[in-house]
């Protein structure tokens, strides 16, 4: 059997084809429909857990402080059990400059600029009280001047000093994304009736006043608020564009289907090893699964080289690592044609590590048994 060239070729091709098929599954060349719809007879849009809207990519002056006001309502029966992304800036990196979401009924805030080693990043800074369903709430988040805070209906829900080692390095910029993570993995269920983004930290007095004004007059009353860069009142009622009421710049787009936003293709590995705020878990989970995935590939290839073709150990190892890198790159490149998939350098690196570990099995077997 070991001397049969056809056996080796067929085994290797079958394993390669199986791995490629498993990687590209479920073959979603046509992305799912965008689960975003306009509210009837009132301003706002509803996200059903599979919806997203985002602004165009374009120049934006980065800020080291920001305030965001969201007028939200969570419907009874909404399934926002895990961490769900409501609003984020997205600049193409593996982790967002700023993210506002909901987990277990509470509003949470996350920024990659903070030194946070907590694995459950979505529990690190959140509102102390639960988000009451069935009624609209004005959620205000401030980030800057060394502090971060969450307000609900004008009342302080939590406040803490920022854990940013270099405040001057904070640059909050990028696309605005609502209703989901940029990779369509953490869809939120609920109604959004307004959004305002400021280039400064709002004072507690302003936040309380805004809450009273929005409750009685709607989000449009904030158009003249100092520092308001983007204001969306969701009054269109139909169509696929949400206008910025402070000017024609940066409208939201509601595409008919769900597309991820991988602006930076093939992140450097150290970027992917950050807390993966887009999937709600450490990227190291995928790292280890990819290592296990490529173990059989490295083992079979090294067995061929060592026992069939009698390559030296060093040459066999070099060929295995190179082959794993090329094959992994091919699989990641193929994911560029799947609208909801995002290739990363971390996957290629972990696959090469898995192939190298797979090499060790027949290598030691060959040394022991000749």
Cα–Cα distance, 8 to 367 (Å, whole number): 21
142 and 228 housed in the same domain: yes
State residue 274's pLDDT score: 47
Counting Cβ atoms within 10 Å, is residue 133 exposed (0-12), middle (13-18) or buried (19+)?
middle
The answer to whether residue 310 scores a pLDDT higher than 90 is no
Cα–Cα distance, 92 to 265 (Å, whole number): 8
The answer to whether residue 275 scores a pLDDT higher than 50 is no
Nearest to 193 by CA among 138, 243, 238, 248: 138
| pTM as predicted | 0.79
CB proximity list for 333: less than 8 A, separation 6 or greater: 343
Q: Which of 263, 295, 329 is the last residue of a domain?
A: 263
77 and 140 housed in the same domain: yes
Give the residue, 199 or 28, on which the prediction is more confident: 199
198 and 315 housed in the same domain: no
Q: How many CB atoms lie within 10 A of CB 262?
A: 19
Q: Is residue 272 part of a domain?
A: no
Q: Is residue 271 part of a domain?
A: no
Mean pLDDT of 167-189: 85
State residue 166's pLDDT score: 62
Cα–Cα distance, 333 to 343 (Å, whole number): 7
133 and 201 housed in the same domain: yes
Mean pLDDT of 51-79: 86
- Give yes or no for a contact between 218 and 194, defined as CB atoms under 8 angstroms apart: yes
Q: Is residue 66 part of a domain?
A: yes
236 and 215 housed in the same domain: yes
19 and 71 housed in the same domain: no
Cα–Cα distance, 22 to 33 (Å, whole number): 23
State residue 366's pLDDT score: 62
Express each pLDDT in 124-165 by its tens digit.
688 988 778 889 999 999 998 889 999 999 999 999 988 765
The answer to whether residue 200 scores a pLDDT higher than 70 is yes
State residue 240's pLDDT score: 95
Which CATH number do you get for residue 52? Answer: 2.60.120.200
CB proximity list for 218: less than 8 A, separation 6 or greater: 43, 193, 194, 233
- Give yes or no for a contact between 138 and 153, defined as CB atoms under 8 angstroms apart: yes
Mean pLDDT of 246-252: 84
Q: Is residue 269 part of a domain?
A: no
41 and 108 housed in the same domain: yes
Strands (DSSP E) found in the chain = 36-38, 45-48, 53-55, 66-73, 84-90, 99-103, 106-110, 137-144, 147-152, 155-161, 175-178, 189-198, 228-232, 241-242, 252-253, 275-276, 281-282
140 and 259 housed in the same domain: yes
Q: Is residue 273 part of a domain?
A: no
Give the residue, 152 or 120, on which the prediction is more confident: 152
Cα–Cα distance, 231 to 196 (Å, whole number): 4
Q: Count the domains in the chain.
A: 2
310 and 341 housed in the same domain: yes
Q: Which of 199, 228, 263 is the last residue of a domain?
A: 263
Q: Is residue 327 part of a domain?
A: yes
Q: How far is CA 197 from CA 70, 142, 245, 354, in A?
A: 9, 10, 12, 45
Q: Is residue 164 part of a domain?
A: yes
The answer to whether residue 322 scores a pLDDT higher than 90 is yes
Mean pLDDT of 182-187: 79
Give the residue, 307 or 17, on which the prediction is more confident: 17
Express each pLDDT in 80-105 by its tens digit.
877 899 999 998 877 788 999 998 78
18 and 113 housed in the same domain: no
157 and 109 housed in the same domain: yes
Q: Which of 211, 232, 263 is the last residue of a domain?
A: 263
215 and 77 housed in the same domain: yes
Express each pLDDT in 277-304 by its tens digit.
444 444 566 788 899 999 999 999 998 8
Give the residue, 119 or 185, on which the prediction is more confident: 185
Q: Is residue 276 part of a domain?
A: no
State residue 278's pLDDT score: 40
Joined tokens for residue 3: 């001397």
pLDDT, mean over the chain: 84
Helices H, strands E: what count in the chain? 6, 17
Q: Which residues constitute the domain of residue 317?
A: 5-28+283-369
């Amino acid at each position: 059997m070991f001397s049969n060239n056809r056996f080796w070729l067929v085994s290797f091709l079958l394993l390669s084809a199986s791995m490629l098929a498993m990687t590209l599954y479920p073959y979603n060349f046509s992305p799912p429909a965008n689960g975003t719809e306009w509210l009837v007879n009132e301003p706002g849009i509803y996200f059903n857990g599979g919806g997203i809207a985002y602004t165009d990519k374009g120049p934006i002056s980065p800020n080291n402080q920001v305030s965001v006001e969201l007028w939200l309502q969570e419907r009874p029966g909404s399934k926002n059990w895990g961490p769900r992304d409501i609003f984020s800036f997205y600049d193409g990196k593996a982790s967002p400059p700023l993210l506002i979401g909901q987990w277990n009924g509470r509003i949470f805030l996350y920024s990659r600029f903070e030194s946070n080693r907590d694995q459950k990043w979505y529990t690190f800074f959140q509102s102390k009280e639960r988000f009451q369903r069935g009624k609209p709430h004005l959620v205000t988040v401030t980030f800057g001047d060394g502090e971060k805070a969450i307000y609900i209906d004008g009342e302080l829900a939590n406040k803490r000093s920022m854990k940013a080692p270099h405040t001057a390095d904070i640059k909050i910029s990028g696309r605005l994304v609502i209703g989901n993570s940029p990779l369509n993995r953490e869809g939120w269920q609920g109604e959004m009736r307004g959004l305002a983004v400021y280039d400064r930290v709002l004072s507690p007095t302003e936040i309380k006043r805004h809450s009273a004004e929005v409750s009685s007059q709607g989000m449009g009353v904030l158009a003249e608020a100092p520092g308001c860069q983007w204001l969306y009142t969701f009054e269109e009622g139909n169509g696929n564009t949400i206008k910025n009421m402070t000017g024609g710049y940066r409208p939201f787009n509601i595409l008919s289907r769900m597309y991820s936003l991988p602006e930076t293709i093939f992140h450097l590995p150290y970027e992917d090893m950050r807390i993966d705020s887009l999937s709600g878990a450490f990227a190291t989970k995928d790292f280890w699964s990819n290592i296990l995935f490529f173990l059989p590939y490295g083992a079979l290839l090294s067995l061929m080289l060592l026992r069939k073709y009698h390559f030296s150990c060093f040459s066999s190892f070099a060929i295995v690592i190179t082959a794993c890198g090329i094959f992994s790159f091919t699989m990641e490149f193929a994911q560029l044609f799947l609208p909801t998939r995002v290739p990363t350098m971390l996957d290629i690196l972990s696959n090469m590590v898995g192939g190298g570990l797979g090499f060790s099995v027949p290598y030691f077997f060959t040394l022991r048994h000749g």
